[in-house]
Each structure stands twice: as structure tokens, then as C-alpha cells.
Amino acid sequence: MNGDHACCEGALAAGCRFFAGYPITPATEIVERMSRRLPEIGGIYIQMEDELASMAAILGASWGGVKAMTGTSGPGFSLMMENIGLGICTETPCVVCNVQRAGPSTGLPTLVGQGDMMQARWGSHGHYEVIALSPSSPQEMFDFTIRAFNLSEKYRIPVIIMADEVVGHITERVVIPPEEKIEIINRRKPRVSPGEYLPYHPDPDWVAPMANCGDGYKIHITGLTHDERGYPGMDEKTQAQMVNRLIQKIVSNRGDIIRTENTYLEDAEIVVVAYGISARSARQAVRDARAGGIRAGLIKLETVWPFPEELIRDVATRVRALIMPEINAGQMVLELQRCAGGACPVHLVSNFGGSVIHPAVILDAIKSFMKKKKGRIKP
């Protein structure tokens, strides 16, 4: 199946029973398949009037106790930003899949891009943390969608799947395991009586148990700065408590959230850091470099936000250079530079969208950089 369809099947396997969306290339196949599949298993599909309303609908469904999702591409992702911020502030679990295309504006609707990566991190206003995953195949679209739902339920947060047009449209074999072998995480429920319950009083891991509307607990939900009761608090102290919780529940659990797939790092002289469809080109380039006697390695970002700072800082002290291929003018490479901290050079290989970066282009960058940077590797 193609990646968009695999995303749908992953969502259903994770327990998604509500989808609100608006068709947009190259994510339309997600909307179409969910419109057929959800009624077959007692779920609900709604086509909304636009993407802003779609995001609002899945937040409401989630508070009603249903695992909920939407899918979109760049222009729709922009429209969703206000309500993604609402979901972060109200700590509402849900999943958003952005199948990226080349932009800005209408851009190239049917062609690949990776230009929404920083928007996923900073697209809404205020300060907060996010979780974003980046699949590079239909199989990962299935697997990562399940993981996205599990992370959203575990940490009470909208989780974003940052796919791209090629990953969404490429058709490959997808293995769907038996239901009993799929790990499913559901939101933590209150362990106190309704009279004692505070909707935003966190456990030691900074995540607050969540009661659904209709469970018999008193709930107040607002996008205003709010206290542990959920009531608005228009003061600096309440703002500090709320924002600190939004940050700490992600930052303090980075070890559980962040995943990378590392190849040949043990003896690598030069390391490629990549995500999405670009990671597949990078993997081939690293193999070709190894075949040519260059000790290249690969860090494939499965989790793009939070960024794997500790890993990058460590690797940067041991290699001659880091190379990042991106289908944009340079976005995640800026985060790579920040984390490398000057320990080694960081080089961008990119195009502006419309086509996949060929492995040969990445290999040429590896070879070129090796020629320029001959010398002793830091121990």
C-alpha cells in the first residue's frame, strides 16, 4: 500500500475512531481512505469546511474520550496552527499528519518538499514543546502513526507526523502485525474521586491524568493561561506554572520520546544526518561511500522534535563533518549546527523542492568534504 493508506491503517490499529479533515494534495488519500474505513469499524469521519475547523473538531472529539486524528499538507497545516496551539495549551491528545509538499503558498501541490519542519516546532505562538516524527517509508507511516498516538496519549499533547509527498505516495510492502502484538497506550485516568480531581495537576513525570467529558469529573477547558483546576489565571505565577509544565513533560522525558536509527557511527569519519525521504537517499550514499573506502555513517532522525541534542553533541566531537540533506533551503540543518556547537563543520545539501535529492549528490558532498578536510580525527 502507499504511505498515506499505511498511515490510515496505523491510526485504526492504534485505536483512532474519529477523523475530521479537508482534502488536500498530497494527503487526500488519507482523507479518502478514512472516510471509507472508519464507518466499517464503528468510527466517525467528518469532512469539515476547512482545516482550522478540522483541528477544532479533533480536539473536541479527544475530550469526549475518542482517539482522534486529522491529515493535511502545507497550506492546511498553516491554517491548523492556531488550534494546534490550543491543543498544546489544553494538553489534548491527538495526531496531525502533514504530508509535505513544496511551498510556500500553493507551491507544487503534487511534488515533494520538506519545508514545514520549523513550522512544526514554532508555528504556533508562545513557548511550548512539541513531538514530531518523520517516517521515510510506508512501513514507517504505519508504525510511526501508532507511535504518534501512543505518545499523544502518554504525554497529553498533539503529536505531528512530518511525512512528505514521496513517502505518502510511494507504494511498498507493509507488514501489519497481529493485533495482540501491537503496543497500545491509552491516556492515564484519574485515581482520585471527582471531588479531589484537578485536570492539570501533574504526576511526578509532569503529565496530568485526564478525565473525559462525561466521566463525572469537573472539567474546565480554556486556551487562556489556567491553573491546575483549569480556571483562567491572569498573572505571572500561573503563566510560569503552566508553561513550565508544558515544557517539562517533554524535556524531562526526552529519553523515552527521542528515537534515531544509527548506522556505522562507531568508526565514522563523516556522518550524514537525515529524515523522511531524504534519509533513504542518505542511506544509499553512505553505503556507496563505504564501498569506496570512506568511513561514512548515518543518523536517521525518527523523532525530529525534540531534536537529539545529546547524540549530535557527542558525534560532533568525533567526526570531521556532519552533512544534512533537506528538500528546503536549510531548516533542520540550523538545529544541527546549534547542537554541534562548532565541534565540527556542518554542511547542507539541498534543493528547493520538487524532487528527491539523489544519493549521488550526497555522495559527492561526502567526497568533496573529505578532500577539503584531510587531517587527524579528534579522539
What pLDDT was estimated at residue 378? 43
CB-count burial class (<10 Å; 0-12, 13-18, 19+) for 34: buried
What is the average pLDDT across 222-249? 98
What pLDDT was estimated at residue 374? 54
Residue ranges, comma separated, of all CATH 3.40.50.970 domains in the chain are 3-181
> Which residues are paired to 348 by β-bridges?
324
- Residues 359/288, Cβ–Cβ less than 8 Å: yes
pLDDT in tens, 306-361: 999 999 999 999 999 999 999 999 999 999 999 999 999 999 999 999 999 999 99
CATH (one of 3.40.50.970, 3.40.50.920, 3.40.50.300, 3.40.718.10) for 260-372: 3.40.50.920
Residue ranges, comma separated, of all CATH 3.40.50.920 domains in the chain are 260-372
Binned at pLDDT 50, 70 and 90, residue 373 comes out as low
- Residues 258/308, Cβ–Cβ less than 8 Å: yes
pLDDT in tens, 48-107: 999 999 999 999 999 999 999 999 999 999 999 999 999 999 999 999 999 999 999 999
pTM: 0.96
Q: How many residues does the chain have?
A: 379
CB-count burial class (<10 Å; 0-12, 13-18, 19+) for 306: middle
Q: Which residue has the cell 469539515?
A: 48
- Residues 131/306, Cβ–Cβ less than 8 Å: yes
Nearest Cα residue to 277 out of 102, 30, 121, 44:
102
- Residues 191/156, Cβ–Cβ less than 8 Å: no
Tell me the pLDDT of the chain averaged across its residues: 96
pLDDT in tens, 180-226: 999 999 999 999 999 999 999 999 999 999 999 999 999 999 999 99
Distance CA 378, CA 310 (A): 18
For the 3-181 domain, the top CATH level (class) is alpha beta
What pLDDT was estimated at residue 377? 41
Does residue 350 sit in helix, strand or coil? strand
Q: Which residue has the cell 496505523?
A: 10
What is the average pLDDT across 226-232? 98
What pLDDT was estimated at residue 370? 83
